[in-house]
Amino acid sequence: MGFVLPVLFALFAALSNALATVLQRRAALTVPQSHGFRFGLVLDLLRRPLWLAGILAVIAAGVGQAAALATGALALVQPLFVLELPLALLIASLMARDRLPSASWLAVAGVVAGLGIVLVAASPRGNRTHVPLDRWVLALAACAAAVAVLAVSGLRRPPGRMRAGCLGAATAVCYALTAALMKSAMHVLDEGGLGAFLTTWETYAFAAAGVCALLLLEHAMQGGPLVASQPALTLGDAGVSVALGVLLYEEHLRTHWWLLPQLLGLALICAGVLALARAGAGAEAGAEAG
């Protein structure tokens, strides 16, 4: 598999998702607080032009992600979505006509440097296009159980960090599963054409997982501060995606002494993401107070 094309497609998708996050977060804060899981939340959001613009950005991100997954390994493409958080903060600061503090720029540099170190050291690769059904059954069952436990745990909590963190983590698992299913469906499209794509179960499974992710994301955005939901979402998506890439698609990561720079890069990513999430939560609180 190539490297340049999937990276470019993934970066486009990350930028589109970052824009969608900013728009959807602003829209979610304008509707009544939801104390439980309700489908009516989406009906409320449909009346918000900002949310509709965010959905268009989500669609653009989906197209970019599908192209990236069709041309690259899952363990290469999905970790690049870690860049969504710094991109979202940059977009939010531009929309608010405000400057990011120097500490935030340092955190952005840490995320970018850490991601580069991890990807170079791990060198994800793999060409499997067909995943046996028994592997899918185990993966689907494990992901569904994790999402159910996290979602129920979050919805039982009052609005706050724990609620937002649990719902953010549940959203991350849904996003990772959506990407894994989308990759399989894209291979079906490439090999069998549109007819095969519309008749394979993976197409409808990734659509269903994507809808679940969207619903959970809106509740996570309402459930508590960005500092709790965003790290769980950002880091969880990347981590679960890498695990699915290895377990389902037999993608390979370099090990032995290469694990040392991977751990260093991961530490930089985690520190940068946490710092950016705090900066985003502080900026959001300031905007609400203003």
Q: Using CB atoms within 10 A of its CB, is residue 113 exposed (0-12), middle (13-18) or buried (19+)?
A: middle
The Cβ of residue 156 has, within 10 Å, a number of other Cβ atoms equal to 11
pLDDT at 123 over 90: no
pLDDT at 286 over 60: no
DSSP state of 126: -
* 105 contacts 250 by C-beta, under 8 angstroms: no
pLDDT at 278 over 70: yes
What band does 179 get if pLDDT is binned at 50, 70 and 90?
very high
d(CA 274, CA 226) in angstroms, rounded, equals: 10
Could you report the per-residue pLDDT of 30-39, keeping only the tens digit for each? Answer: 555 554 445 5
Closest CA to 283 of 98, 42, 125: 98
Percent share of the chain, pLDDT over 90: 28
Return the half-sphere exposure (C-beta side, CA atoms, 13 A cut-off) of residue 11. 8
Higher pLDDT, 194 or 279: 194
Length of the chain: 290
Could you report the per-residue pLDDT of 56-101, keeping only the tens digit for each? Answer: 888 898 899 889 988 888 889 989 988 888 888 888 778 777 777 7
What band does 181 get if pLDDT is binned at 50, 70 and 90?
very high
This prediction has a pTM of 0.81
Q: Which residues on adjacent β-strands are paired with residue 91?
A: none
What band does 290 get if pLDDT is binned at 50, 70 and 90?
very low
| Count of domains forming the chain | 1
Position 288 scores a pLDDT of: 47
Query: Span 23-51, mean pLDDT?
Result: 61
Position 144 scores a pLDDT of: 94
Across the chain, what does the average pLDDT equal?
A: 83
Please give the residue range of the domain that contains residue 133: 4-289
Position 117 scores a pLDDT of: 92
Query: Span 113-142, mean pLDDT?
Result: 88
pLDDT at 277 over 80: no
Higher pLDDT, 138 or 4: 138
Taking CA atoms, 62 is separated from 14, 54, 199, in Å, by: 10, 12, 20
What are the two backbone dihedrals, phi and then psi, of residue 254, each rounded to the nearest 5 degrees? -70, 140
Closest CA to 146 of 212, 206, 211, 224: 212
Position 180 scores a pLDDT of: 93
pLDDT at 264 over 90: yes
